[in-house]
Amino acid sequence: MTQAIRIDIDNEDRLSGIRSFLATVMDKSGIEAMLVSTRLAVKNRIMPTLVSDPARLADADPLSPAFPVNGAQQLAKLTRLPTGGKMAAVLRPCEIRAFNELVKLNQGKRDDLVIVGIDCPGALSNSAFRAFADRHETTDAATNSYCAVAFSANPGDEASSLTAACRACAHPIPDGADIVVEIFGADPANGLTARAHTQPGEAVLTGLDLPPAESSAPQRKTAIGTILDQRKQYREQMFASVADATGSIRGLSTYLADCVNCYNCRAACPVCYCTTCVFTTDTFRHEPFQYLQWARRKGSVKMPTDTLFFHLTRMAHMSTACVGCGQCTNACPNDIPLSDLFSFVAHHTQGAFGYRAGLDLSQQPPMSAFEEEEYSEVVGLD
């Protein structure tokens, strides 16, 4: 797809330019509703919002470093059954990957849906964002302040304040979107580029009657290369640290020692979709005499029980689908770096299957399809 249009911006105000672009898309593309991160009227905060009135996009804020939930969960709720209308969704790259995994698992659909992705410089933790936002008079001021540094050639302190998941992210470009708004390497004086990556995306951009974009390929390639190199270095250091800390059962137990079985990580995970989790069934509602038996046998038993078993089960279940969004860490009340651990395990699990979650809609998830000569070194050949 080669269709690309220019988004004009004034005084480096990327946010206003993108708002205008989204309103134009909604107005001219027959889109009835758009899911986009939006400023709350009641507080200086950002949450995913389903917008049906283009005028309400004046409060949209998809560039904010706020990331309270992974929007893939909300989009799956909106698309699992036909709605009878065309929708759009503005998502981060990790949200697109998570939604693609849910589509593969029949939890959502991409029919009658246009996904707009925006280059992602990363996000702050929930607590860090609250402190950041409260230092500014408005969320617009906070977002523009953040973007001025985060999208610059030298993000410096802003990059070091991102969540670990964002600092380690290998896919900050929303390649799975129908339309990609390119910001990395762009000169604000020349506007931003919205580029179609699919036929539905091209159809939308063609109907907008906006000027074509100028090429910024060399600058963009350089900017992305710098970001990926920095993140690879951080990711390798993070993985080495996790491997050292969790290389034994005792080490893993120590890593997870602060867990209180709240299951927030499960609820926040965008690809953990089971309606009923085994850990909330009678299987793990132990009888009182069982606790006493365990205590007598061992001399003592930690309460709550099954903490390590819960996380091992989650890793076995979800590591092939993990997109590294970091919401498990964000949701943990005791600040356990769960995303570091899950990303580390997912890197090896997905690597064993030659799979990268959410990057290719046509690639079936591991263990969901059979190949005749798969793992011949394990099962043997006739």
Domain span holding position 270: 249-379
Give residue 377's pLDDT: 66
Residue 242 placed within a domain: no
Question: Is 123 in the same domain as 89?
Answer: yes
Question: Is 290 in the same domain as 230?
Answer: no
Share of the chain above pLDDT 70, in %: 93
Question: Is 54 in the same domain as 84?
Answer: yes
Question: Is 227 in the same domain as 260?
Answer: no
Q: In this structure, what are the phi and psi dihedrals at residue 177, rounded to the nearest 5 degrees?
A: -85, 160
What's the rounded Cα separation, in Å, for the pair 325 and 348? Answer: 17
Examine the pLDDT at 380 and tell me if it is beyond 70: no
What's the rounded Cα separation, in Å, for the pair 1 and 274? Answer: 36
Instruction: Report the mean per-residue pLDDT for the chain.
Output: 90
Question: Is 51 in the same domain as 132?
Answer: yes
Q: What are the distances in angstroms from CA 312 to CA 256, 306, 319?
A: 11, 10, 10
Examine the pLDDT at 200 and tell me if it is beyond 90: yes
Angle at 120 between CA 351 and CA 167, to 5 degrees: 55
Interval 28-54: pLDDT, tens: 999 999 999 999 887 778 999 999 999
Interval 224-263: pLDDT, tens: 999 999 999 999 999 999 999 999 999 999 999 999 999 9
Question: Is 224 in the same domain as 289?
Answer: no
Residue 241 placed within a domain: no
Question: Is 121 in the same domain as 220?
Answer: yes
Token pair of 61, please?
């804020």
Give residue 156's pLDDT: 60
Q: Which of 13-17, 159-163, 308-312 has the lowest mean pLDDT?
A: 159-163
Interval 41-92: pLDDT, tens: 877 789 999 999 999 999 999 999 999 999 999 999 999 998 888 999 999 9
Give residue 371's pLDDT: 67
Closest alpha carbon to 133 in 120, 122, 121, 123: 123
User: How far is C-alpha 185 from the geometric centre of its chain's CA atoms?
Assistant: 22
Interval 286-344: pLDDT, tens: 899 999 999 999 999 889 988 999 999 999 989 999 999 999 999 999 999 999 999 99
Question: Is 278 in the same domain as 339?
Answer: yes
Amino acid letter for position 21: F
Closest alpha carbon to 81 in 119, 113, 57: 113
Question: Is 220 in the same domain as 323?
Answer: no
Interval 16-30: pLDDT, tens: 999 999 999 999 999
What's the rounded Cα separation, in Å, for the pair 38 and 58? Answer: 9
The structure tokens 């190949």 sit at 371
Query: Is the model more confident about 94 or about 379?
Result: 94
